[in-house]
Each structure stands twice: as structure tokens, then as C-alpha cells.
Amino acid sequence: MQSKHFVETELLDDPKLFCKQRAAIQRDYGQALQKLTNPFLSKELTSVMSNESDLSGGQCLWRVWRSLLDESNNLALSCLRSAETQQRLSKKVKPLKLQCVVVNKCVFEQLRIQQSDLAAYVQEMVKSHKVYAEEEKQAQDTRLKAMAAEEEIRRRSTDTFHSMAQLHRNYGKLVIRRQAYDARSASA
């Protein structure tokens, strides 16, 4: 994700470079076109037009010529305005890129902190789950032993090494231990 944002931030250089280069080309073209048309525009065409014998044909030709020069000059001015606009755009992209870099740095730092916190919480949860599973296993073993002892007391069966009093004592201990495990399981 961080590399994706890095690539996107670096892509901001492309429009900046494009606008900068296009502005230079437009400016050069506009200046060259102005340089070409200005001398012709400054010439006095009235003397040529008054000497013309065919007024309608000559005026038409000179009007077209004058119109071509005027439009060429307008195109040159338009190119110069376009160059200025693109130059401003290329200058506006630089702070945008810097802002993206700063924001990405802050966001990724916060993300790194949250990921490390999450990893710590997960480790703690895994540890707690292991402890809970172990205690639950001990509780289940105690329940089984208590049920077996209770069954022996009900059947009044003792083996050669155990007396009935000893069975009652063991059963009492197992019941207390089972209750303690049940209380821990309920609180977890």
C-alpha cells in the first residue's frame, strides 16, 4: 500500500513536467509567431492599396493578407497566454506533491503504530486463549474425576487401598477444585 501511494505521488511529476515543457514550447512558438507577424503588421499597406488599379481585387487580397496577419498575431498571443497558464499549473503541482508526501508520511506512521498495537493485542489474545484452554482442560479433567468419585461413593465400592472416608475426602477436594475452575471459566 505504501509503494502504491509512493508511485501515485511520483506520478504527480509527470503532469508537472508535461505542463512545464508544453509551456516552454507554447511560449517559444508564440514568441516566434509574434516575431514573424509583427514586422508585417507594422508595414503600411495603405500606400500599396491606393496604387492598386483594381480596387476590388486588390483590396480583397490585402484584406485576406491583413486578416491572416491579425489571426496569426492572435494565435501568438493565445499561445503565450496558454504558456502562462500551463506554467502556473506546473508550479501548483509541486506543493500538491509535497502535501501528499507529508500526508502519506503521517498516515503511514499512524498505520504502522496501529498495526503494531493490533499485533500486540493479537499476541495477548493468543496467550489468553492458551491459558483459558489449559484451565478449561484442567476443569474438564477435574469434573470427570469428581463424577468418577461420586459414582464410586454411590456404588459404595472401595478398592483395597481406599476407604470410604478417603473417597469422601477426595470427592470433597475434587468438588471444591471443580467449583473453582467453574468460577474461573464463568469469569473468563
Tens place of pLDDT for every residue, the chain, 188 residues? 767 777 777 777 888 888 899 999 999 999 999 999 999 888 865 555 555 555 555 578 888 988 999 999 999 999 999 999 999 988 888 888 888 888 888 888 998 999 999 999 999 999 988 988 888 888 888 888 888 877 777 777 666 556 777 777 777 888 888 788 777 777 76
CB 105 within 8 A of CB 9: no
Indicate whether 104 and 139 sit together in one domain. no
In whole angstroms, give the CA distance from residue 119 to residue 125.
10
Q: Are residues 136 and 102 in the same domain?
A: no
Cα–Cα distances in angstroms (integers) from residue 55 to residues 19, 45, 110, in the given order: 48, 13, 81
CA distances from 145 to 135, 152, 179 (A): 15, 10, 13
Residue 125 lies in a domain: no
Same domain, 89 and 169: no
Residue 146 belongs to a domain: yes
- Both 114 and 23 in one domain: the answer is yes
Q: CA–CA separation, 7 vs 25, rounded Å?
A: 28
125: exposed, middle or buried (C-beta count within 10 Å: 0-12, 13-18, 19+)? Answer: exposed
Total number of domains in the chain: 2
The residue behind cell 498495537 is 117
Are both 69 and 19 inside the same structural domain?
Answer: yes
Domain that holds residue 164: 130-187
Cell numbers linked to 135: 484451565
Residue ranges with strand state E in 29-127: none
Amino acid type, 87: Q
